[in-house]
Structure 1
Amino acid sequence: MTWNTRRIAASFRRPAGPVLAPLAACAGALALLVVYAESGAAGGAPPRISVVDARLVAPPGAASAIAYFEIRNGGAAGDTLLHADSPAAGISMIRTTGPGRTERVRSVRVPAGGRVRMAPGGLGVVILDPPALAPGAVVDYNLWFRYAGRVSVRTPVVASPR
């Protein structure tokens, strides 16, 4: 064996540990990227969420108040409203009402290019045990979406629904 051949043969006998750690990290990163791309979250146009016509109905002396919003999605991908909260208003939950029933709603789908309008007799955000809210006041509300994240809206307080 020549000197170069011995040197090459010796390099194959070295421990592979220093090479395995970066190789495993690269393989793990590649696996995560594949999962992310396959989930549909990568590369697509994001949703474009806006909130209009916000109002918080707080009748004087009532045990609860209700906030209504119109959610518009100008994007090419749908999104989902997961929950709504306000540091100033207290505990909130999305609910739907109908003849003789009120039910909690876990999420609300907002289709691509579409809108969801909350209104009396349908969807709304009920505030349990609200603080004293005077008509004309403005409350900051956060609507939390799966992809768009937090969308904040200034919500005027009114005494009765329109």
Structure 2
Amino acid sequence: MTSATLRAAAVPLLAGVLTLGCLTAWTVTGNAGTPPRLDVTDGRILTASNTEATAAFFTISNTGTTADELTGVTGPAGLRAMVGRDVEVAEGAHRMEMAGAVAVPARGALRMAPTGLDVMVSPPPRLAPGDRLTFTLHFRHSGPVTAEAVAVRPGQLRL
């Protein structure tokens, strides 16, 4: 090999090493992003006030730098659970509708509440305050997350 050939090969090699070094530094400092890191907490389920359905509420925190989506929920055997949204149809009148996939923001949280997003459970199980039910929340990018909801009376719900 001639010195001209070695110099010609050195330029792309040096550019590749420099690029790899920059990408490594970018990743090590956390700028390349991290997958969603989800934690489901504050589970509450209302003791039934009617014979059709009740609602459960959770807080979903994401400490990752990538957003995720809540795509569904499963509840205990014999109960139907689905993600729903409270929608105002007229002043003072509301109805529940199924929610599609719901965003869980990167470095943020999704907090369910009676006047927003919740998990509708039907038929409503017989629960006394303090009873616990286990739910599994399903996400588009993360694996399923299992969480407990503690039964509370409707007037005692604190989110």
Same fold (TM over 0.5): yes
* RMSD between superposed Cα atoms in Å: 1.8
Instruction: Determine which of 127, 130, 133 is the counterpart of 2:127.
Output: 133
1:21-70 superposed Cα distances (whole Å, 9 cap, x missing partner): xxxxxxxxxxxxxxxxxxxxxx8521000011110112355421100011
Matched, 1:148 2:142: yes
**Structure having greater relative contact order (Cα 8 Å, sep ≥ 6):** 2
8 Å contact 1:89–1:127 — kept in the other structure?
Answer: no
1:59 counterpart SS class: coil
Instruction: Determine which of 33, 46, 52 is the counterpart of 1:57.
Output: 46
74-83 vs 53-62, which moves further: 53-62
1:149 counterpart SS class: coil
Matched, 1:122 2:116: yes
- TM-score normalised by the chain length of structure 2: 0.69
1:58-116 superposed Cα distances (whole Å, 9 cap, x missing partner): 23554211000111100011101010111246101111113233221011111110111
2:144 counterpart SS class: strand
Q: Which runs of 5+ in 1 are unaligned?
A: 1-42
8 Å contact 1:140–1:152 — kept in the other structure?
Answer: yes
State the partner residue of 2:75: 86
Give the whole-Å Cα distance in 1 for the aligned partners of 2:78 and 2:47.
10
Give the whole-Å Cα distance in 2 for the aligned partners of 1:66 and 1:119.
9
Dislocated runs of 4+, deviation >4 Å: none
The residue type paired with residue 110 of structure 1 is: V
Give the whole-Å Cα distance in 2 for the aligned partners of 1:61 and 1:75.
39
Give the whole-Å Cα distance in 2 for the aligned partners of 1:77 and 1:61.
39
Distance 1:138 1:116, change over 3 A: same
Q: Which runs of 5+ in 2 are unaligned?
A: 1-31, 89-93
Matched, 1:47 2:36: yes
* Number of equivalences: 120
8 Å contact 2:48–2:124 — kept in the other structure?
Answer: no
The residue type paired with residue 63 of structure 1 is: E
Give the whole-Å Cα distance in 2 for the aligned partners of 1:76 and 1:128.
35
93-102 vs 114-123, which moves further: 93-102
State the partner residue of 2:28: none
Give the whole-Å Cα distance in 1 for the aligned partners of 2:78 and 2:145.
16
